[in-house]
Amino acid sequence: MNPIKPLLIFLHHLHPISTETEADLLGLCRLKTYGKNEEIQAIGATCRTIYFMVSGVGRIYYLKDGKEVTEYFAFPNDLIVRAESLFTQLPSKKAIQALEDSEVVAIPADPLFKLFEKHHDLERLFRLLVQNAYVETLRRLENIQFLTAEERYEKLIDEKPELIQKIPLKHVASFLGITQVSLSRIRGQKR
């Protein structure tokens, strides 16, 4: 099977695009593979690429006072984008890393944006993607602001139970906005 197929299914589900649009889009996509713990994009580079996870697990992280903070996890069929850099053209303070051996589709943003001129439906699709990511972030903001660490952990457990199995707890902790130590205590008191 064409390894890029999952991306097309994912996109189509959000907003159908014409076959010509799809063909032009496919022309931009490159399938890449990365080994466990390999950096997909390093800190400091300005982000000009949109990634889509086909297999494996990825994350976005950055350094806060010398410590890694995980901002996002990507599982198969998730997009993974350093939006703050892609949309501002500023160098990103964040890195993208494969946490396991992974396959990703890489889509260079500049030619993609050029395609928007030609294919209105592609820009529509992209707009909807951004809207969804925006709403998702608004939710995360409310969670961080009003739930306790423990509530956030519980919520994560029932929204993405597989996450806890696959991902080192230290990454999970920083994703939840707490320390490894606190997460360990929360887990401890459930047993």
Partner DNA sequence: CGAGGCCTTGACCGCGGTCAATGCCCGTGG
Partner DNA sequence: CCACGGGCATTGACCGCGGTCAAGGCCTCG
3-state secondary structure at position 189: coil
Nearer Cβ to a second copy (120/155): 120
Site string for a second copy, 116-155 (x = CB under 8 A): x---x--xx-xx--xxxxxx-xxxxx--xxx---------
Please state the closest distance from residue 103 (CB atom) to a second copy, in A. Answer: 27
Nearer Cβ to DNA (127/185): 185
C-alpha to C-alpha distances, 164 to 60, 99, 142, 155, 156, nearest whole angstrom: 17, 13, 22, 12, 9
Please check whether residue 62 is in contact with residue 133, taking contact to mean a CB–CB distance below 8 angstroms: no
**Tokens 């950096």 sit on residue:** 39
Please state the closest distance from residue 185 (CB atom) to DNA, in A. Answer: 5
Nearer Cβ to DNA (85/97): 97
DSSP line for 146-177: HS-HHHHHHHHHHH-HHHHHHS-HHHHHHHHT
Which residue among 150, 154, 160, 166 contacts DNA (CB under 7 A)?
150
Binding of a second copy by 63 (CB under 8 A): no
Q: Which two tokens stand for residue 39?
A: 């950096």
How open is the CA angle 139-144-147, to the nearest 5 degrees? 100
Please state the closest distance from residue 36 (CB atom) to a second copy, in A. Answer: 28
Compute the CA torsion angle 11, 71, 59, 13 (nearest 10 deg).
-10
Nearer Cβ to DNA (36/120): 36
**Residue span binding DNA (CB under 7 A) among the ranges 16-24, 90-98, 106-114, 143-151:** 143-151
Binding of a second copy by 16 (CB under 8 A): no
Q: Which two tokens stand for residue 68?
A: 């890694």
Binding of a second copy by 87 (CB under 8 A): yes
Residues contributing to the site for DNA (CB under 7 A):
148-150, 168-170, 177-188
